[in-house]
Amino acid sequence: MTNVSDAPRPDPVPEPPAEPVLRVSNITAGYGRSTVLRDVSLDVPPGRIVALLGPNGAGKTTLLRTVAGLLRPAAGAVRLDGAEVTKSAPHQRAKAGLCLIPEGRGIFRNLTVRENLRMQVPPGGKGAAKDGLEQVLSTFPVLRDRLGQTAGTMSGGQQQLLALARCYLTRPRVVLLDEVSMGLAPKVVDEIFAAIATLASGGTALVLVEQYVNRALELASRAILLDRGTIAYDGLTRDLDEAAVLRGYLGVDVNAPRPPPTAPAGQAAGVGSGASVGHPPAP
């Protein structure tokens, strides 16, 4: 008799790839008569992070604004969970599970931290608001001691943490992050990247526009490079030649001599792309 343990075992059947939560198909968009994006597509499955990279003017923010509904495309489609939202208003997309954290914080500076958090709770979401608020204060404990403080009087890093709190209070399916680490101290950047990883581990799909390219590529499973409004690369981050990205698309040569002390740390002198290598400079 053949033992069960000795019997040949069939090869495991691979699981089918997850359907994308966000699907952007052949988007062409711009401002007035100026076309910025040309035939741009991307898919983001649940729980995955896509790094959207490219020099200034490549169209990164324009793409995020188009996906969020702040800009109507001339051609193409945007789908959330399979439903087309190309013509939907921004608030309708937010209700469907889309969250944009824009460059420049995106908070109510004249309101207190507590009032900002209340404003971020969606209508009818009071039942989950208490749990969401506790998660926010546990994730960003610095906000707990500042609930009564006017948001605009906090540091830039604390304001950015407050902006990210929306991701926990609205429970979005997709989060679009536009340069969330810009100008922040290393400790705050670490907190932000840890929060992004936590969101992805909980099943949230994220599109990350980030100036610190190395950190973005460490966090993301997929990268898309935009060059003058078109896709120059779309693939796994592990297959990406990071030095070529920094040199060819972002204007940073990782092998170049370090800049003089008067230049921003992590950037080559004369570079105007905003891309940096590694960790942010100390304040």
Within the chain, how many helices (H) and strands (E) appear?
Answer: 9, 10
Mean pLDDT, residues 23-33 taken together: 97
Closest CA to 181 of 152, 216, 153, 148: 216
* Model confidence at 45: pLDDT above 50: yes
Reported as a single tens digit per residue, the pLDDT across 188-198 is 999 999 999 99
| pLDDT recorded at residue 170 | 86
Which residues sit opposite 27 in a β-bridge?
A: 40
Angstrom distance (rounded) from CA 119 to CA 92 = 17
List the beta strands (DSSP E) in 32-106.
34-44, 49-53, 75-80, 83-84, 98-101
Q: Which helix (H) or strand (E) holds 230?
A: strand 230-236
Give the sheet arrangement for strand 174-178, strand by strand: 98-101, 174-178, 205-209, 49-53, 222-227, 230-236
Helix, strand, or coil (residue 6): helix
| pLDDT recorded at residue 94 | 93
Which residues sit opposite 78 in a β-bridge?
A: 24
Region of poorest pLDDT, from 98-102, 171-175, 272-276:
272-276
| pLDDT recorded at residue 43 | 97
| pLDDT recorded at residue 275 | 57
* Model confidence at 125: pLDDT above 60: no
| pLDDT recorded at residue 35 | 97
Instruction: Find all residues with CB under 8 Å of 51, minimum gap 6, and list them.
Output: 208, 210, 216, 217, 219, 220, 222, 223, 224, 237
Q: How far is CA 102 from CA 56, 70, 258, in A?
A: 16, 11, 31
Domains of the chain: 18-97+172-252+263-283 (3.40.50.300), 108-171 (no CATH)
The dihedrals phi and psi of 245, each to the nearest 5 degrees, come to -60, -50
Q: How far is CA 113 from CA 41, 137, 146, 168, in A?
A: 37, 11, 7, 15
Which residues sit opposite 53 in a β-bridge?
A: 225
| pLDDT recorded at residue 130 | 66
Radius of gyration of the chain (CA): 21
Angstrom distance (rounded) from CA 163 to CA 108 = 9
Q: How many CB atoms lie within 10 A of CB 256?
A: 12
